[in-house]
Amino acid sequence: MVTNEDAARLITAIKTSSTYDFTDYSDKSFCRRIEKILLDNNMDLNQLIHKIGKDKDFLEQMVKDITVNTTELFRNPEMWQTLRYHILPKFKKNRSIFIWHAGCSSGQEIYSMLILLNELGMFDQAKVFATDINTDMLEAAKAGQYKYRFNLGYLDNFDKVIKENPFNFEDKVDVPYEKYFDIDKVKDTIQMKPFLREKAVFRKHDLVKDGNVFYSKFDLIFCRNVIIYFNNKLQSRVIDMFNSSLNRDGYLILGSHESILGASANNFERSKGFYKKKQM
Amino acid sequence: MNDYKAIMIGGSAGSFQVVSRIIAALPANYPLPILMCLHRLKHIRSGFVEALSIKSKLPIIEPHDKEPLKAGRIYLAPANYHMYIELGNRFSLSTEDVVNHSRPSIDLSFFSASYNFKKKLVGIILSGANKDGALGLKSVTDNGGLTIVQDPKECQVPTMTTASMNATKVDYVFSTKQIIDFLLKLA
Ligand SMILES: C[S@@+](CC[C@H](N)C(=O)[O-])C[C@H]1O[C@@H](n2cnc3c(N)ncnc32)[C@H](O)[C@@H]1O
């Protein structure tokens, strides 16, 4: 088992050889990831520390392996329904709407948003930025191609959010999947359409050390299922950075079982899992 | 008697009936926290809490990440997250890969709870179609906690209970009725 002392030694070694700093990641989850990396590489901790000191590519790969990248199209459909019926309509009349997906992983969250925006006739006014620490994930997000059979749940989620109206069961629209993605059952792929793939601006970004790098403020910031891997201190720092990057009346959207702890919570009004920036 | 600090229950979607019977039997002032890690059917992710709450006199909560654990509540691992108990009695959640095809994974919940509560944990495995939970229950035994499995004769799908009994020497094999009586006696 990897102890907290082991983790601390490794974190120091990573800091020495790179710009990454995992000091304020949540210890238990960090230790679990390292256990897995040791097992997969058949190494002990000393060997791992030795290797990252002299092999930069290996270190980069290890950082990618530390991150947890699981995601889905329309993950947590209730959130997307709230967004659709309660939040996005407020922005419809604005000339532009700035959106940041922080910790976008392989992009499913971005495509969910773009599809929804298109359905609401808000696609053109949206400016979408997407970031992650893991460049493999950014490449996957740009490619917009996902496994089909493994991800049949995506289609159920799509139906719930795009075809059905939870507030009026008679209100059903038939939106064909091909409007947004092509399914190839032989190749076992779901491929997002080019007009969606060309929309977002992608950029490598580390929430530990980078602030808002976009010279613009945002109306919606998504950061879902990212801060669960951070300790309270880093969570608060990141949340405060988001707070100062939000426009008046902007919203921060966290994962369905994440919340803002401590004093940072005072800057937001919470409703239905959405954090609205408070006017101060 | 050992003063237990928490009860953790693992089972699959098929154990819903048993779980509701157990929950319904607990009084509103039940003093121990109950932690439940149940596999859910893919398409029924929501509505689970609501369905269980109808029967329960205790609040049923899907905890948030880093939420402190409190007595007199029933906690249910949220769909699609692994649920851990950390030192200092806080929950932590993660979306790490599925284990034994499952997220939440019963093994992972049991590992962290048994590490945290050691001999003060009661671990219970109910009916289930998957061997997830067996190694978890073993970790309860290894940390000195008490283990119970639902009588396989009573289970529609006994894979989980049988695997648990093969993985570790369990303290009791109980019917649902006996599980309820036992939990009431702990109060
Ligand atoms: C579980 S995924 C969440 C994906 C998506 N937001 C969702 O909820 O479906 C977490 C992502 O956060 C990224 N991440 C972890 N640490 C980060 C950091 N310090 N800066 C930026 N992104 C980070 C990981 O690379 C991973 O892709």
What is this model's ipTM?
A: 0.90
User: Which atom of ligand 1 is the closest one to the Cα of A72?
Assistant: 9
**DSSP H helices in B56-151:** 106-117, 134-142
- CB burial class (10 A; 0-12, 13-18, 19+) of residue A257? buried
Those residues with Cβ within 8 angstroms of residue A115's Cβ, 6 or more apart along the chain or in another chain: A158, A162, A180, A196
Contact A197, A106 (CB under 8 A): no
Residue A180, in any domain of the structure: no
B155 falls in which pLDDT band (50, 70, 90)? confident
Binding pocket residue ranges, ligand 1, CB within 6 Å: A 67-71, 75, 103-105, 109, 132-134, 137, 205-208, 224-226, 229, 255; B 95
Say if residue A134 is in the same domain as residue A28.
Answer: no
Question: Model confidence over A87-108: pLDDT tens digits?
Answer: 999 999 999 999 999 999 999 9
Determine the Cα–Cα distance for residues B137 and B44; give it in Å rounded to an integer.
26
Chain B closest-CA separation from residue A124 CA (Å): 33
| B89 DSSP 8-state letter | T
Instruction: Give me the CATH topology for the region B6-172.
Output: Rossmann fold (3.40.50)
Give bridge partners of residue A204 from the DSSP assignment. A132
Nearest to A56 by CA among A16, A21, A110: A16
* Closest CB from B67, B84, B94 relative to A68: B94
User: Of residues B12, B112, B114, B164, which has the active-site annotation?
Assistant: B12
* Contact of A230 with A238, CB cutoff 8 Å: yes
| Residues 131-150 of chain B whose Cβ lies under 8 A from any Cβ of chain A | none
Together in a domain, A102 and A200? yes
- Closest CB from B63, B92, B97 relative to A29: B92
Q: Is there a domain that residue A89 lies in?
A: yes
Query: In this structure, what CATH number is given to the domain that contains residue A102?
Result: 3.40.50.150
Same domain, yes or no: A105 and A236: yes
- Measured CA angle at B65 (ends B63, B71), to 5 deg: 40
> Are B96 and A261 an interchain contact pair (Cβ–Cβ within 8 Å)?
no
Q: Starting at the earlier edge strand, list the strands of the sheet with A201-204.
A: A201-204, A126-132, A97-102, A218-223, A246-254, A274-277, A268-271
Per-residue pLDDT at B1 exceeds 60: no
Tell whether A30 is covered by a domain.
yes
Q: Coil, strand or helix: which one is B18?
A: helix
Contact between A248 and A94 under an 8 Å Cβ cutoff? The reply is no
- Choose the mutation target among A31, A257, A258, A261 for the interface with B, i.e. most B CBs under 10 Å: A257
Q: Is the pLDDT assigned to residue B43 strictly greater than 80?
A: no
Q: Does B93 contact chain A (CB < 8 Å)?
A: yes
- Whether A184 is covered by a domain: the verdict is no
- Closest chain A C-alpha to B18 CA, distance in angstroms: 26
Closest chain A C-alpha to B42 CA, distance in angstroms: 8
Mean pLDDT (whole number) for B50-74: 94
Ligand 1 centroid distance, CA of B50 (Å): 30
Model's pTM, two decimal places? 0.94
* B85: three-class secondary structure by DSSP: strand
- Give the pLDDT of residue B45: 59
pLDDT tens digit sequence for B87-132: 889 999 999 998 888 999 999 999 999 999 999 999 999 988 889 9
Say how far apart CA A27 and CA A43 lie, in whole Å: 20
Nearest C-alpha neighbor of B176 from the set B141, B137, B136, B126: B126
Q: Where are the domains positioned within chain B?
A: 6-172
Q: Which helix (H) or strand (E) holds A120?
A: none
Of the pLDDT bands very low, low, confident and very high (cuts 50, 70, 90), residue A125 is very high
Q: Dihedral through CA A160, CA A141, CA A29, CA A260, nearest 10?
A: -60
Residue A110 lies inside a defined structural domain of this protein: yes
3-state SS, residue A266: helix
Chain B contacts in chain A segment 125-154 (CB below 8 A): 153
> Quick one: pLDDT band at residue B7, thresholds 50, 70, 90?
very high
CA A222 to ligand 1: nearest atom? 6
- A197 and A135 share one domain: yes
A88 lies in some domain: yes
Statement to judge: residues A91 and A59 lie in one domain: no
A19 and A118 belong to one structural domain = no
Nearest CA to A190 out of A68, A103, A119, A106 is that of A106
Domain boundary among A19, A38, A66: A66
What's the total number of domains in chain A? Answer: 2
Query: A218 CB contacts (<8 Å, ≥6 apart)?
Result: A98, A99, A100, A129, A245, A246, A247, A250
Taking CA atoms only, the protein residue closest to ligand 1 atom 14 is A103
A142–chain B nearest CA distance, Å: 22
Q: Looking at residue A38, what is its pLDDT?
A: 97
A125 and A62 in a common domain: no
Q: Which of A22, A39, A66 is the last residue of a domain?
A: A66
Q: Which amino acid is at A261?
A: L
Q: Are residues A108 and A217 in the same domain?
A: yes
**Do A9 and A140 share a domain, yes or no?**
no
Q: Are strands B172-174 and B146-150 parallel, antiparallel or unpaired?
A: parallel
| DSSP-derived secondary structure letter, A86 | I
Q: Do B64 and A259 touch (CB under 8 A)?
A: yes
B66-78 pLDDT, tens digit each: 999 999 999 999 9
Amino acid identity, position A227:
I
Q: Which of B56, B109, B127, B132 is catalytic?
A: B132
| A211-265 pLDDT per residue, tens | 999 989 999 999 999 999 999 999 999 999 999 999 999 999 999 999 999 999 9
Residues of the domain holding A29: 4-66
Is residue A13 a part of any domain in this protein?
Answer: yes
- The answer to whether position A207 is within a domain reads yes
- Contact yes or no for A28 and B84 at CB 8 A: yes
Instruction: State the best of B40, B49, B65 to mutate against chain A, taking most chain A CBs within 10 Å.
Output: B65
Given a cut of 80, whether residue B41 has pLDDT beyond it is: no
Q: Do B66 and A225 touch (CB under 8 A)?
A: no
- Chain B residue whose CA is closest to A69: B96
> A59 and A141 in contact (C-beta within 8 Å)?
no
pLDDT at B2 over 80: no
Is residue B12 part of the annotated active site? The answer reads yes
Return the amino acid letter for A276: K
**Ligand 1 center–CA B161 separation, angstroms:** 36
Q: Which of A18, A46, A66 marks a domain boundary?
A: A66
Closest to B152 (Cα-Cα) out of B179, B126, B172, B129: B126
DSSP per residue over A4-54, as a string? Answer: HHHHHHHHHHHHHHSS---TTB-HHHHHHHHHHHHHHHT--HHHHHHHHHH
Nearest to A160 by CA among A105, A116, A211: A116
Q: Which two tokens stand for residue A244?
A: 């100062």
Looking at beta carbons, which pairs linking A89-97 to residues 24 or more positions away fall under 8 Å?
A: A89/A120, A90/A249, A91/A122, A91/A219, A91/A220, A92/A120, A92/A121, A92/A122, A94/A125, A94/A219, A95/A125, A96/A125, A96/A126, A96/A127, A97/A122, A97/A125, A97/A126, A97/A127, A97/A219, A97/A220
Q: Which residues between 7 and 46 in chain B have a beta carbon less than 8 angstroms from any beta carbon of chain A?
A: 42-43, 46
Q: Are residues A51 and A88 in the same domain?
A: no
Instruction: Confirm whether B101 is a catalytic residue.
Output: no
